[in-house]
Amino acid sequence: MPGNSRNQAYIDHVRRLEQRIECKDEAMRLAVGGEFDAVGKLEYYLLRSLGLSSGHLVIDVGCGSGRLARQLASDTSIRYVGTDVVPRLLEAARTAAGRNDWEFRLVEGIRIPCPDNVADFVTFFSVLTHITHEESFLYLQEAARCLKAGGRAVLSFLEFRIPCHWETFKMSLRAKPDGPLTQFVDRDGLTAWASHSGLGVESFFDGDKGHFPIPEEVKWENGTVMKSLGNLGQSVAVLRKV
C-alpha cells in the first residue's frame, strides 16, 4: 500500500472518526467513504457478473472495514484474503465477515501476501484512487503474480473523462496536504501498466453508466434506488492474466 507517511494518514483518519462518532460501527462504515451496504452489494454483483463462482479465491486488496467481505461471506465455498494498512479496519472487516476460515492480513509496502498463481480474482476497489501511479503499477505486477492463468484483476478508478469525477477532483483541491491522496488514472496508463505486467485489458466501464446486472434494488443512503443495472460511481477496469 502507500508509503509510511500516507499509511499513518489513513490510520489517523480512522482514529479521528472513532473519536468523533460514538457508534464505532458507524465510524468504521464512514472510514471507507460511507454507503457501506450499497457499495458492498454492487462490488459483489460486479464480481458475479464477471464469473465469480463456488471455490474461487478472492484477494481483496485494501479491504477496509469489510464492505465486500460482508457480502461474500454467505457463500461458504468462497475463499478470501483481505489486506489493508490500517489494523483497526482489518478488525472491523473480520467482524463484518464472521468467517474464521478467511484471512485478514496487515501489509506494509507494495505486496500481496499470497503465493504465485493461486487467485481467481484480485480486487482493488477504491485503492488506485489513493496511491501513486508508481505504486499502482507495482501492485498490478503483484496481482499478476498471484493470479492463475485467466484470472482477473478488477479495479475501480477515477478519470477526468467522467463528469461526476471532476467534482471529486474539485473537492480534492480543498483537501489537507497531509490527508489521504486522491489520485486520477487514465485508460492509456492502465493499458500500459497491464501490458508490462502480464495482464491484458478485458474491458473498461464508465463510472456513471450501468454495466452489470443487479438482481435486487440497491438503495443508497440519500434515498436513490438503483435497479436492473449497477455501477460503482468510479470507473472499472477488468484485466485478465494472459
What ranges make up the beta strands (E) of the chain? 57-61, 79-84, 103-106, 119-124, 147-157, 199-205, 212-213, 218-219, 225-226, 229-230, 235-241
Residue 59 contacts residue 121 (beta carbons within 8 Å):
yes
Give the residue-averaged pLDDT of 197-214: 98
Provide the residue type at 64 as one letter: G
Name beta bridge partners: 103. 81
Separation between Cα atoms, residue 109 and residue 103, nearest integer Å: 18
pLDDT digits (tens, 9 = 90+) for 12-59: 878 888 888 888 788 887 878 879 999 999 999 999 999 999 999 999
Measure the CA–CA gap between 192 and 200, rounded to whole angstroms: 10
CATH code of the domain made up of 4-241 = 3.40.50.150
pLDDT in tens, 132-170: 999 999 999 999 999 999 999 999 999 999 999 999 999
Give just the sign of the alpha carbon dihedral 135, 138, 140, 143: negative
> Domains of the chain: which residue ranges?
4-241
Q: How confident is the model at residue 95 (pLDDT cuts 50, 70, 90)?
A: very high
Q: Say what the pLDDT of residue 8 is.
A: 82
First CA to last CA across the chain, in angstroms? Answer: 25
CB contact set of 213 (below 8 Å; sequence gap of 6+): 45, 49, 228, 229, 230
Rg, C-alpha atoms of the chain: 17
Predicted model pTM: 0.93
pLDDT value at residue 240: 98
- Contacts for 188 with CB less than 8 Å, ≥ 6 apart: none
Q: Report the C-alpha gap between 220 and 226 in whole angstroms.
A: 8
Q: Are 54 and 77 in contact (CB under 8 A)?
A: yes
